Structure 1
Amino acid sequence: MGAVDVANKDLTASLADKKPKVVFVLGGPGSGKGTQCTNIVEHFHYTHLSAGDLLRAEIKSGSQNGTMIQNMIKEGKIVPSEVTIKLLQKAMLESGNDKFLIDGFPRNEENRAAFEAVTKIEPEFVLFFNCPEEEMERRLLSRNQGREDDNIETIRKRFKVFLESSLPVIEYYKAKGKVREIDAAKPIGEVFEVVKVIFTPKAEKLYEVVVLHIFFEVLNTTDRLCNATIDK
């Protein structure tokens, strides 16, 4: 086993010892997830980690790893999941915290599988900011200080990438009962009220009870309608 492998193994072991609480934060461009992450950090004391920000910071540092990442991006290559995951692990350990919002990652199924395999960590849940494409488009185009590529063509390409790559991740965790889906088309304050319910202690159990209650109410209503039809 090489020195790099040993270092990576130590990183994984050290992080596993902390038993961190990880929440994946996913949503299309313009869904408002960044704003809500800021609110969650302020109110619930999570550490907010953006995979994209970590990669950019590593490039800016001028390290050997950063140069490798920069060259891969210039050549149009995809940065290996393990590289991004190592940066996330390092940031998690250095934060001194044990509660993390991982924003915009995993971007695809390969990212997801690699994260769980490397870190031995499954997310507590996935916070999914679901917003209609038309609303996200309107928000991005109305920004005064948006990204340089915030034009209609590139925005729609970003939507397409999100739908093709990230939705399968959401569906995977939805099948495991781990997705907390939020209507992100509403005003910021209203969205955060829903977020607060999810992050308030014991809210996980309450959320499941409410969902089950709604399910059985619908089931009972359906049964009554069926019985009424049969009686006729």
Structure 2
Amino acid sequence: MAEADICKRPIIFIVGGPGCGKGTQCDRIVSKYGFTHLSTGDLLREEVASGSDRGQNLTAIMERGELVPLETVMQLLKEAILSKVESSKGFLIDGYPREVAQGILFEKEIAPCSAIIYFEASDETMTKRLLGRSLSSGRVDDNEVTIKKRLDTFHTHSKPVIDYYGAKVKTINAERDRELVFADVAAFLDTMLTV
């Protein structure tokens, strides 16, 4: 299938702070709508684990504490989308774009995004959820000091993204029970997909 066919599938950027419930909601969207869920973090980890030349270069970059180049992340996303475009009804790009420049590059190199779903939750709620998760997750970044840094980074970089996309953004209150949150997600997607 040609790259032009990507444009025929909805592409939705999923934005929200750590602990807002993005992963839970993405799982439900995949299950109900047949979308493919892509996380840039997962794609980077898979590439590193593959042992490829590119994966070895990524390991070296990360070991130096540097950010992975925008173009590399874009290439991984493009490859993942192209590999699934025939079997997928659409794409959820999770935790992306982290800044406006990434969104602009994505739309220029791959395809325009159809919408952004922004899962909005207070810092207090997200911190409480992450600390609760830390009891069972074993994740080193689920501690109060790191959570505060992650939230600060999210606010600094994601607010401009939400402002930039304006009319394409659907803000959903993620403070509520996951069933109520998903009811709002489904209502939005049902409307968007029938237009």
Q: TM-score, normalised by structure 1?
A: 0.78
Where does residue 79 of structure 1 map in the other structure? 68
Higher relative contact order (CA 8 A, sep 6+): 2
Matches within 5 A, 1:3-152: 14-19=2-7, 20-95=9-84, 96=86, 97-119=88-110, 121-143=111-133, 144-146=135-137, 147-152=139-144
Of residues 140-149 and 181-190 in structure 1, the stretch that sits farther from structure 2 once superposed is: 140-149
Contact 1:18–1:98 (CA under 8 A) maintained in structure 2: no
In 1, Cα distance between equivalents of 2:3 and 2:97: 18
Question: Which protein shows a greater Rg?
Answer: 1
Moved over 3 A (4+): 201-205
Distance 1:204 1:135, change over 3 A: farther
C-alpha distance in 2 between matches for 1:15 and 1:166? 28
What is the letter of the counterpart of residue 69 of structure 1? L
Show structure 1 runs of 5+ residues with no match. 1-12, 206-232
Alpha-carbon shift at residue 202 of structure 1 (Å): 4.9
Runs of 5+ consecutive residues of structure 2 not aligned to the other structure? none
Q: Does 1:181 align with 2:171?
A: yes
Shift of 1:113: 1.9
Q: How has the CA–CA distance of structure 1 residues 43 and 113 changed in structure 2, closer, same or farther, with 3 Å as cutoff?
A: same
Give the TM-score, by structure 2 length: 0.92
Equivalent-residue separation in structure 2 for 1:202 and 1:106 (angstroms): 21
